[in-house]
Amino acid sequence: MGATGLVGGHVLDLLLASPGYARVSVIGRRGLEREHPRLVQHVVDMNRMAEHAEWFAVDDVFCCLGTTIAAAGSQEAFRRVDHDYVVQCAQLAAQGGAARYLLVSAAGANARSRVFYNRTKGEAEDEVRATTIPGVTLLRPSLLLGERTEHRPGEALAQRVAPVLNPLMVGPLRRYRGVDARVVAKAMVRLAAEEPRGVRVVESEEIQELGGA
């Protein structure tokens, strides 16, 4: 899920390069101009995912879905993607017998937060945890670094500053260092190789360690 996005695109590259996956299914609102013998694409109105429960009968789910309040147009529209679609996908995957659900959430995700963004991410995490999926991995990256086509002025500035600030962020500040989207993807795919054992929360610093080098 989210294979047309920054992290999801890197995850897809890694999965298609990995012989461990006999089939890689991509579910999204638009197709990818890409072909591969092990790639299956499903294009769907995301509000109607439940009509295609059979697509979710997979082993591992890599959920890299997300938007911004600015791009979505309202808090409600943002929540539909970052909460509703994420949770529904987990529920369908649980019904389909998935062993693992790996979710790109965000640093600060907390259902009790006063900040709408963090609260929405935290609520989505909590509902994913509540499914019957044996292995739930919640990755909480800090600012994502990488090339995007969509213009996000605030993030663009933060991305320019990050290379200067990152080395200065030491001790408890390390967790706020920007993290390359490719590193998040690598960490995600590496974590999927582990035995599913309940819920694992992976903060940005650990993502950096797992996905680096």
Ligand X SMILES: NC(=O)c1ccc[n+]([C@@H]2O[C@H](COP(=O)([O-])OP(=O)(O)OC[C@H]3O[C@@H](n4cnc5c(N)ncnc54)[C@H](OP(=O)(O)O)[C@@H]3O)[C@@H](O)[C@H]2O)c1
Longest distance between any two alpha carbons in the chain, whole Å:
50
Q: Which stretch binds ligand X (CB under 6 A): 33-41, 59-67, 127-135, 168-176?
A: 59-67
Out of 15, 24, 61, 104, which residue is the one contacting ligand X (CB under 6 A)?
104
- Residue 65 binding ligand X, by CB under 6 A: yes
From first CA to last CA, the distance across the chain in angstroms is 25
According to the 3-state scheme, what is the secondary structure of the chain? CCCCCHHHHHHHHHHHHCCCCCCEEEEECCCCCCCCCCEEEEECCHHHHHHHHHHHCCCEEEECCCCCHHHHCCHHHHHHHHHHHHHHHHHHHHHCCCCEEEEECCCCCCCCCCCHHHHHHHHHHHHHHCCCCCEEEEEECCCEECCCCCCCHHHHHHHHHHHHHHHHCCHHHHHHCCEEHHHHHHHHHHHCCCCCCEEEEEEHHHHHHHHCC
* Number of residues forming the site for ligand X (CB under 6 A): 24
Q: Which stretch binds ligand X (CB under 6 A): 51-59, 62-70, 126-134, 167-175?
A: 62-70
Q: How far is the CB of 190 from ligand X (least distance, A)?
A: 17
- Residue 190 binding ligand X, by CB under 6 A: no
Q: Which is nearer to ligand X, 22 or 48 (CB)?
A: 48
Annotation says 121 is catalytic: yes
Annotation says 117 is catalytic: yes
Q: Which stretch binds ligand X (CB under 6 A): 60-68, 127-135, 163-171, 186-194?
A: 60-68
Catalytic member of 85, 121, 176, 186: 121
Q: Using CB under 6 A as the criterion, what x/- string covers residues 2-31 for binding ligand X?
A: x-xxxxx-------------------xxx-
List residues with catalytic annotation.
117, 121
Binding site for ligand X (CB under 6 A): 2, 4-8, 28-30, 46, 64-67, 81-82, 104, 106, 141, 143-144, 148, 155, 181
